[in-house]
Amino acid sequence: MYAFPVYVIHPILTNDILQISYSNSISYLAEKSMKSVVVTLFLLHCWWFYLFLKLAQRLLTQSAHAAGQAEYEGDSDGEHED
């Protein structure tokens, strides 16, 4: 959770990386779109980290079967009660 924001996201957002020469017509659009992709990846990184912590907490406090049963409450497609 530390390395990705510090070594990847911060240099990209602060333009502290090697400057690549673009033509002026696409430079602004390309830079802003790539920065938005990096920010989106960071948000997904945070979400996945939260899900892994939630899973680890449930596995440490419950059995694996009980944790899975609590997460997926619905019936499977093959088990319909008539």
Q: pTM value?
A: 0.60
The span from the CA of 12 to the CA of 39, in Å, is 10
The domain ranges of the chain are 1-13+26-59
The span from the CA of 71 to the CA of 63, in Å, is 12
Shortest CA distance to 56 belongs to which of 46, 65, 67?
67
Q: Mean pLDDT in the chain?
A: 75
The span from the CA of 46 to the CA of 25, in Å, is 34
Lowest mean pLDDT across 39-43, 45-49, 64-68, 72-76: 72-76
Model confidence pLDDT, tens digit, residues 44-70:
989 999 989 988 888 888 877 777 776
> Phi and psi (nearest 5°) for 40?
-65, -45
Residue 22: is its pLDDT beyond 70?
no
The span from the CA of 43 to the CA of 40, in Å, is 5
